[in-house]
């Protein structure tokens, strides 16, 4: 039975709001997306009111989940701070990230410093890029597998809300189940605990998300998921360095970030913006990876530096951040990625797996303190 928007509105009409009217009349709902039994929307309130609305969010979620045919409901509470308004309460509200509506705060005393660790996870790291299409997601999953091969317990969170590619990269088509506490159970594949917004909404649906909704949904995917015990959680960030990315970098308790760049100049300029973004929010940059660094012929193995390779290494040296490695542009990396069998898993003894493992080792070495402490 297919679920309709009308059914969702009827269910939400029975939920009371702190404004003394039904939730549907409180003027706080974003457009409601209903796709294939999956329901997504956000409740947008002022940050000062957020605490009072958290129970409404939970009731709305319960009401939507109770509709026959609903297979997943993701309801985000987004708390926007009006310019000039008083700052939100210091005590964190579960599942809510305060988001400035104009310029995200970025002083060293910003929420990032206070962001609570995620119980059971020793280190959360971001894989980021200044722009799309540089192979960020491909690198994120293969890096996660490289870390797995080093004996670590690893999770992968696809936070690329504008175009989640982890379903394609892993071939995962199933939806996460809920545990008794109504937390989502990540899908286990390749020995990784995997979660992606793409498991809940279609790729094209994801495009309509507004900035504050992005943060709220990602907060839910971080904290309302039963990750278990992990040494490292790799977060595949949305590409770019806009406000949504900055807020994310600020609100996710990151131990560090890995920047993916291609050798072309433009991409390096974008990578520099990525470095500046993480610096702004005091997240250490673990290093730069040069992807599609050189072309390796799949037939004869000959290497051609068609993109003027080596730029990222020089840039890393110039900026004083570690250079983590070079990944060639190779047919088998693309084919493996696009068929849902990442190369580190499908060709574990091949040269590419060795490159990702070596990058993983450099990342692990920098996280050693956090992993040992946990
Ligand atoms: P992003 O996450 O930056 O948008 P993707 O990881 O989705 O990029 O990669 C974009 C495309 O490039 C995909 O088709 C992927 O298979 C391919 N790709 C990524 N890295 C490599 C590589 N090193 N060699 C060959 N193809 C690659």
Question: What pLDDT is attached to residue 43?
Answer: 83
Locate the ligand 1 atom nearest the alpha carbon of residue 334 and give its number. Answer: 16
Helix (H, G, I), strand (E, B) or coil at 137: helix
Bridge partners, 194 (sequence order): 156, 187
Locate the ligand 1 atom nearest the alpha carbon of residue 327 and give its number. Answer: 23
- Is residue 100 scored above 50 in pLDDT? no
Dist. CA 119–CA 173, nearest whole Å: 28
| Nearest protein Cα to ligand 1, atom 19 | 135
Looking at the chain, the whole-number percentage of residues with pLDDT higher than 90 is 40
Question: What pLDDT is attached to residue 186?
Answer: 96
| Nearest protein Cα to ligand 1, atom 15 | 334
Neighbour tally for 16: CB within 10 Å: 12
Residues with CB under 6 A from ligand 1: 129, 132-138, 165, 239, 291-292, 327, 329-330, 333-334, 337-338
Mutate to test the pocket of ligand 1, among 259, 334, 347, 359 (most ligand atoms within 8 A of CB): 334
Q: How many angstroms does the Cα of residue 329 sit away from the middle of ligand 1?
A: 9
- Is residue 192 scored above 70 in pLDDT? yes
- In whole numbers, what is the pLDDT of the chain averaged over residues? 82
Locate the ligand 1 atom nearest the alpha carbon of residue 328 and give its number. Answer: 23
pTM confidence score: 0.74
Q: Which residues of 86-110 are buried (b: 16+ CB within 10 A; e: fewer)?
A: eebeeebbebbbbbbbeebbbeeeb
Span 117-137, mean pLDDT?
92
Q: How many angstroms does the Cα of residue 291 sit away from the middle of ligand 1?
A: 9
More confident residue, 338 or 355: 355
Q: How many angstroms does the Cα of residue 128 sit away from the middle of ligand 1?
A: 13
Q: Which domains can be identified in the chain, with CATH numbers?
A: 1-80 (3.30.300.130), 116-373 (3.40.50.300)
Helix (H, G, I), strand (E, B) or coil at 245: helix
Q: How many angstroms does the Cα of residue 132 sit away from the middle of ligand 1?
A: 10
Dist. CA 139–CA 71, nearest whole Å: 31
Dist. CA 19–CA 351, nearest whole Å: 61
Q: How many angstroms does the Cα of residue 292 sit away from the middle of ligand 1?
A: 8
Bridge partners, 195 (sequence order): 157
Lowest mean pLDDT among 68-82, 185-199, 269-283, 359-373: 68-82
343: CB partners within 8 A, 6+ apart: 142, 332, 333, 336, 337, 350, 352, 353, 356
- Is residue 304 scored above 70 in pLDDT? yes
| Nearest protein Cα to ligand 1, atom 16 | 334
Q: How many angstroms does the Cα of residue 25 sit away from the middle of ligand 1?
A: 45
- Is residue 102 scored above 70 in pLDDT? no
Q: 3-state SS of the chain: helix, strand, coil percent to 5?
A: 40, 25, 40
φ, ψ of residue 59 to 5 degrees: the values are: -65, -40
End-to-end alpha carbon distance in the chain? 46
Pairing, β 323-329 against β 285-296? parallel
- Is residue 277 scored above 70 in pLDDT? yes
Question: What pLDDT is attached to residue 205?
Answer: 57
């Amino acid at each position: 039975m297919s679920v309709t928007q009308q059914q969702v509105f009827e269910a939400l009409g029975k939920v009371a709001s702190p404004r003394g009217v039904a939730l549907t009349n409180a003027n706080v709902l974003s457009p409601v997306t209903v796709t294939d039994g999956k329901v997504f929307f956000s409740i947008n309130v002022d940050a000062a009111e957020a605490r009072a609305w958290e129970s409404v969010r939970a009731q709305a979620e319960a009401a939507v989940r109770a509709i026959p045919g609903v297979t997943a409901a993701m309801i985000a509470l987004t708390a926007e701070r009006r310019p000039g308004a008083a700052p939100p309460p210091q005590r964190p509200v579960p599942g809510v990230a305060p988001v400035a509506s104009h310029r995200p705060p970025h002083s060293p005393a910003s929420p990032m410093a206070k962001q609570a660790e995620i119980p059971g996870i020793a280190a959360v790291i971001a894989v980021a890029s200044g722009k799309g299409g540089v192979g960020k997601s491909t690198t994120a999953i293969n890096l996660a597998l490289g870390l797995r091969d080093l004996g670590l317990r690893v999770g992968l969170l696809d936070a690329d809300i504008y175009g989640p590619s982890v379903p394609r990269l892993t071939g995962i088509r199933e939806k996460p189940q809920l545990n008794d506490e109504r937390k989502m159970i990540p899908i286990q594949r390749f020995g990784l605990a995997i979660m992606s917004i793409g498991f809940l909404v279609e790729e094209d649906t994801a495009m309509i998300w507004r900035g504050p909704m992005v943060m709220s949904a990602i907060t839910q995917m971080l904290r309302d998921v039963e990750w278990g015990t992990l040494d490292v959680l790799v977060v595949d960030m949305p590409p770019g360095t806009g406000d949504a990315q900055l807020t994310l970098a600020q609100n996710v308790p990151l131990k560090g970030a890995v920047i993916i760049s291609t050798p072309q100049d433009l991409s390096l300029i974008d990578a520099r913006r990525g470095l500046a973004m993480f610096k702004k929010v005091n997240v250490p940059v673990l290093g730069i990876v040069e992807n599609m660094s050189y072309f390796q012929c799949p037939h004869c193995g000959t290497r051609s530096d068609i993109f003027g390779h080596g730029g990222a290494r020089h840039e890393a040296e110039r900026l004083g951040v570690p250079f983590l490695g070079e990944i060639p542009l190779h047919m088998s990396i693309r084919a493996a990625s696009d068929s849902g069998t990442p190369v580190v898993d499908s060709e574990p003894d091949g040269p590419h797996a060795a490159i990702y493992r070596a990058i993983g080792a450099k990342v692990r070495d920098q996280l050693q303190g956090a992993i040992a402490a946990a």
